[in-house]
Structure 1
Amino acid sequence: MAMSPPDPISRRLSLAVGIATRGRPRVLAETIADLEQQSRQPDRIVISYAEPGDIGDAPERFPQVDFVQGPLGLTNQRNAILAALHQEDVVLFLDDDFYLEREYIHKMANLFLSRPEVVVATGRVLADGINGPGLSLEEAKAVISAHAPEEAGNSETTPVFNAYGCNMCLRMQPIREHQLRFDVQLPLYGWYEDVDFSRQLAAYGAVVLLPTACGVHLGSKSGRQSGLRLGYSQVANPVYLARKRSVPWSYAIASMMSRSLKNVVRSFAPEPYVDRRGRLRGNLMAWKDLLTGTIAPTRILNL
Structure 2
Amino acid sequence: MKLAVIIPTLGRSGQVARLLGYLGSQTRLPDEVILSAPDATHVELPESLPFPVTVAFGPKGLAAQRNTAMGPALERFDIITFFDDDFVPSADYLRQVAESFAGNGDWAVVMGRVVRDGATNAGLTWEDAEAALRETEGRRYEGPEVVDHVGAYGCNMSFRSSLVGNLRFDERLVLYGWQEDIDFTSQMRSRGRVVCVTAIRGVHLGIKAGRVSGERFGYSQVANAVYLVRKGSVPASFALPLMFRNIAANLARSLRPEPYVDRRGRLKGNMLAILHVATGRIEPEYILKI
Which secondary structure state, in structure 1, belongs to the residue aligned with residue 14 of structure 2? helix
Cα offset, 1:222, TM superposition? 0.6
1:138 maps onto 2:127 in alignment = yes
Residues 90 and 226 of structure 1: is their aligned pair in 2 closer, same or farther, counting only changes over 3 Å?
same
Amino acid at match of 1:88: F
* 2:17–2:46 contact (8 Å) kept in structure 1: no
SS at match of 2:109: strand
**C-alpha root-mean-square deviation of aligned residues, in Å?**
1.5
With structure 1 as the length reference, what TM-score do the two structures score? Answer: 0.91
Aligned AA for 1:268?
L
Alignment partner of 1:249 is 2:241: no
1:84 paired to 2:64 = no
1:10 matched to which residue of 2? none
What letter matches 1:32 in structure 2?
A: L
Matched, 1:261 2:251: no
Provide the secondary structure at the position in 2 that maps to 1:37: coil
CA distance in 1, matches of 2:46, 2:24: 16
Which aligned pairs between 1:33-182 and structure 2 lie closer than 5 A? 33-55=21-43, 57-58=44-45, 64-85=52-73, 86-149=75-138, 156-175=145-164, 178-182=165-169
**Contact 1:97 1:219 survives alignment (8 Å):** yes
For the residue of structure 2 that corresponds to 1:209, the secondary structure is strand
How far is 1:145 from its partner? 1.4
Equivalence for 1:25: 13
The residue identity in structure 1 corresponding to 2:208 is: K
Residue type matched to 2:94 in 1? I
Partner amino acid for 2:14?
R
- Provide, for residues 103-158 of structure 1, a one-character-per-residue CA deviation record: whole Å limited to 9, x for no partner: 1111110000000100001100010011111111111111111212368xxx9411
CA contact (8 A) 1:59 1:67 kept: no
Q: Contact 1:59 / 1:65 at 8 angstroms: preserved in 2?
A: no
- Asked if 1 retains the 8 angstrom alpha-carbon contact of 2:27 and 2:95, the reply is yes
In the alignment, the residues of structure 2 paired with residue 75 and residue 229 of structure 1 have an alpha-carbon distance, to the nearest angstrom, of 16
Structure 1 position 39, deviation (Å)? 0.4
1:187-243 per-position Cα deviation (integer Å, ceiling 9, x unaligned): 000100110011111111100010000000000011111111100000000111111
Hey, what does 2:223 align to over in structure 1? 236
- State the partner residue of 2:4: 16
* Maintained 8 Å contact 2:223/2:282: yes
Secondary structure of the structure 2 residue equivalent to 1:58: coil
Q: How does 1:284-303 map to 2 (within 5 A)?
A: 284-303=271-290
Mapped to 1, the partners of 2:241 and 2:20 lie a distance apart of 37
Alignment gaps of 5+ in structure 2: none
User: Does structure 1 conserve the Cα–Cα contact (< 8 Å) formed by 2:31 and 2:52?
Assistant: no
Gaps of 5+ in 1: 1-12
In structure 2, distance between residues paired with 1:49 and 1:61 = 20
CA 1:88–1:195: 2 relative to 1, 3 Å: same
Mapped to 1, the partners of 2:71 and 2:244 lie a distance apart of 36
SS at match of 2:24: helix
Does the 8 A contact of 1:186 with 1:298 survive in 2? yes
Q: Secondary structure at the match of 1:199?
A: helix
CA contact (8 A) 2:112 2:197 kept: yes
Shift of 1:254: 1.1
**Length-normalised TM-score, structure 2:** 0.95
Native 8 Å contact 2:58 2:68 kept in 1: yes
The offset of 1:61, in angstroms, is 5.7
SS of the residue 2:34 aligns to: strand
Contact map agreement 1:149 1:212 (CA 8 A) in 2: no
TM superposition shift of 1:35: 0.3
Q: Percent identity, please.
A: 42
Give the AA of the match of 1:120.
Answer: V
